[in-house]
């Protein structure tokens, strides 16, 4: 039996701005197996973070998940949803986009949790770090997987409904219980914070960047999630601390067996952490496969460009190689009806201007790419002339105006 824990199909997330519709995530497909570390890599602006927010149901107005499905495997949750939302359940899988928002929200923290890019702006500066982690513990312990079932995830009198009502009725009684505070200290210890009991009483500004990132991981672990989404978890840190945080995530994954979706622009981080990888460009995955498939047998020229821009410490190159140009505008009326990478692609051919390529399997069914080169050999004689894209753009504009 397949052990897919997350199956995303044809996911599209759009932002409706005054300038027009922005297709931040476009027809996105992804399957993640239980216990694996899947990396999504790509430049800034390629849609990686919006994908993470879409999975977490955290896209805010003017953004909206407009189509697709996000199926999550959880037999208990599937049983709880089967009667009330039969169309959303298939076997042990539940389509999260076909159930009410409050039911999705009940999974946040306990099933899905997220480490955000910038820990300094993610913690409340007026509360101690320990209090904030304890709050996350408290919320998760009181969370109900199925809001209709009335079955609370309680683990003792400290988390009972009576205790919650008492804390609301008596202002002197703290919402955060002693049990949650103790758990917060334990979590700080798990992520390697020295003197966790003392550090729990300190405020975010008293922590270094690396320690705050560890504290954020502790907070994300509070609900013992099935899937941890780590969005650029090491971007703001120096290389030594980066390595420590990656080691920590590695150890936690090994100990708990949780599934990790790692979002990064850093291929070194992907190589160090991931089992499989998806390369994202202009809102879609353009190549995906195992590390070997993508690093050693890459097909898509964008993947090759990313790999080529990694500094070679042993080579003699004097300059770093870069991919010329920028990620295209994702405004709907500006997105061309051709391969989105064509105007930056050193291997673009006439074929690439006719229509966007679809996925084609390359080598194995699990190594797929959205590029015509998956089906044909690159022939330099077929390469586009330098001004072909300009001519194509002019023809499109003229055609549009004459209509
Ligand atoms: S489809 Fe064509 S333009 Fe697009 S990446 Fe492949 S070779 Fe380049």
Which of 373, 385, 388 to probe ligand 1 with, by most ligand atoms within 8 A of CB?
Answer: 373
All residues at 6 or more sequence positions from 106 whose CB lies less than 8 Å from its CB, including other chains: 143, 144, 145, 146, 147
User: Atom 1 of ligand 1 has which residue's CA nearest to it?
Assistant: 371
Residue 169's pLDDT is what? 64
Backbone angles phi, psi at 230, to 5 degrees: -110, 110
Asked if residue 216 lies in contact with residue 121, where contact means CB atoms within 8 angstroms, the answer is no
- What is the number of the ligand 1 atom nearest to the C-alpha of 349? 2
372 Cβ closer than 6 Å to some ligand 1 atom:
yes
301 Cβ closer than 6 Å to some ligand 1 atom:
yes
All residues at 6 or more sequence positions from 120 whose CB lies less than 8 Å from its CB, including other chains: 204, 209, 212, 236
Q: Tell me: pLDDT of 171 over 70.
A: no
286 Cα–ligand 1 center, Å: 10
What does the alpha-carbon distance between residue 104 and residue 83 come to, in Å, rounded to a whole number? 16
373 Cβ closer than 6 Å to some ligand 1 atom:
yes
Q: Which of 89-98, 131-140, 232-241, 248-257 has the lowest mean pLDDT?
A: 232-241
- Residue 148 — very low, low, confident or very high, per pLDDT cuts 50/70/90? very low
Helix, strand, coil percentages, rounded to 5, for the chain: 40, 20, 40
H or E stretch including 171?
none
Residue 91's pLDDT is what? 94
The angle subtended at Cα 103 by Cα 102 and Cα 108, nearest 5°, is 90
3-state secondary structure at position 82? helix
- What is the number of the ligand 1 atom nearest to the C-alpha of 342? 3
- Residue 99 — very low, low, confident or very high, per pLDDT cuts 50/70/90? very high
262 Cα–ligand 1 center, Å: 26
Structure tokens at 371: 């590029």
Q: Say what percent of the chain tops pLDDT 90.
A: 53
pLDDT in tens, 37-63: 999 999 888 999 999 999 999 999 999
What does the alpha-carbon distance between residue 330 and residue 353 come to, in Å, rounded to a whole number? 18
Q: Tell me: pLDDT of 105 over 80.
A: yes
Q: Tell me: pLDDT of 280 over 70.
A: yes
H or E stretch including 289?
strand 284-290
Q: Tell me: pLDDT of 399 over 70.
A: no
This prediction's pTM = 0.85
Q: What is the residue-averaged pLDDT of the chain?
A: 85
The angle subtended at Cα 47 by Cα 46 and Cα 53, nearest 5°, is 160
388 Cα–ligand 1 center, Å: 14
pLDDT in tens, 283-312: 999 999 999 999 999 999 999 999 988 777
Asked if residue 208 lies in contact with residue 123, where contact means CB atoms within 8 angstroms, the answer is no
pLDDT in tens, 324-336: 888 888 888 888 7
Q: Tell me: pLDDT of 403 over 80.
A: no
pLDDT in tens, 233-270: 887 778 888 888 889 899 989 998 999 999 998 898 99
263 Cβ closer than 6 Å to some ligand 1 atom:
no
3-state secondary structure at position 358? coil
341 Cβ closer than 6 Å to some ligand 1 atom:
yes
Residue 170's pLDDT is what? 59
- What is the number of the ligand 1 atom nearest to the C-alpha of 301? 5
Asked if residue 222 lies in contact with residue 133, where contact means CB atoms within 8 angstroms, the answer is yes
All residues at 6 or more sequence positions from 61 whose CB lies less than 8 Å from its CB, including other chains: none
pLDDT in tens, 189-231: 999 899 999 999 999 999 998 899 899 999 999 888 999 999 9
Residue 244's pLDDT is what? 86
Burial (CB count <10 Å: 0-12, 13-18, 19+), residue 18: exposed
Instruction: Tell how strand 276-281 and strand 227-231 pair up.
Output: unpaired
Residue 394's pLDDT is what? 57
Residue 204 DSSP one-character state: G
Mean pLDDT of 101-126: 89
Residue 329 DSSP one-character state: P
pLDDT in tens, 74-83: 999 999 999 9
Cα–Cα separations (whole angstroms), residue 296 to 1, 72, 289, 293, 299: 30, 31, 11, 6, 9
Residue 73's pLDDT is what? 95
Residue 157's pLDDT is what? 52
All residues at 6 or more sequence positions from 155 whose CB lies less than 8 Å from its CB, including other chains: 141
- Residue 146 — very low, low, confident or very high, per pLDDT cuts 50/70/90? very low
Q: Tell me: pLDDT of 187 over 90.
A: yes
The angle subtended at Cα 247 by Cα 241 and Cα 251, nearest 5°, is 145
Residue 245 DSSP one-character state: H
Which of 284, 298, 348, 389 to probe ligand 1 with, by most ligand atoms within 8 A of CB?
Answer: 348
Residue 392's pLDDT is what? 59
């Amino acid at each position: 039996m397949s052990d897919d824990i997350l199956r995303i199909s044809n996911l599209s997330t759009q932002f409706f701005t005054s300038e027009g519709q922005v297709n931040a995530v476009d027809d996105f497909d992804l399957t993640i197996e239980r216990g694996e570390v899947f990396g999504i890599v790509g430049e800034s602006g390629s849609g990686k973070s919006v994908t993470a927010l879409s999975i977490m149901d955290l896209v805010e107005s003017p953004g909206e998940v407009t189509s697709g499905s996000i199926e999550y495997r959880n037999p208990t949750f599937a049983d709880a949803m089967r009667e009330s939302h039969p169309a959303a359940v298939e076997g042990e899988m539940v389509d999260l986009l076909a159930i009410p928002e409050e039911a999705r929200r009940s999974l946040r923290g306990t099933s899905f949790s997220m480490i955000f890019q910038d820990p300094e702006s993610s913690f409340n500066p007026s509360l101690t770090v320990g209090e904030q982690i304890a709050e996350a513990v408290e919320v998760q312990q009181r969370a109900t997987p199925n809001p209709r079932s009335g079955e609370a995830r309680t683990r003792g009198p400290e988390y009972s409904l009576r205790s919650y009502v008492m804390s609301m009725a008596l202002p002197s009684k703290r919402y955060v219980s002693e049990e949650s505070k103790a758990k917060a200290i334990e979590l700080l210890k798990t992520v390697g914070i020295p003197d966790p009991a003392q550090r729990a009483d300190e405020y975010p500004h008293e922590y270094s960047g690396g320690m705050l990132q560890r504290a954020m991981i502790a907070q994300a672990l509070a609900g013992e999630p099935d899937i941890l989404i780590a969005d650029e978890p090491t971007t703001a840190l120096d290389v030594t601390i980066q390595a420590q945080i990656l080691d920590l995530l590695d150890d936690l994954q090994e100990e708990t067996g949780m599934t990790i979706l790692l979002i990064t622009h850093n291929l070194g981080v992907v190589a160090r952490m991931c089992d499989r990888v998806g390369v994202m460009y202009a809102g879609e995955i353009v190549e995906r496969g195992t590390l070997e498939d993508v690093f050693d047998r890459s097909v898509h020229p964008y993947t090759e460009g990313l790999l080529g821009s990694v500094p070679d410490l042993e080579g003699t190159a004097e300059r770093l190689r870069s991919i010329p140009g920028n990620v295209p505008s994702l405004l709907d009326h500006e997105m061309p009806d051709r391969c989105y990478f064509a105007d930056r692609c050193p291997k673009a051919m006439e074929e690439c201007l006719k229509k966007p390529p679809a996925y084609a399997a390359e080598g194995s069914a699990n190594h797929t790419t959205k590029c015509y080169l998956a089906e044909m050999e690159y022939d330099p004689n077929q390469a586009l002339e330098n001004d072909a894209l300009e001519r194509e753009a002019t023809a499109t504009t003229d055609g549009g105006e004459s209509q």
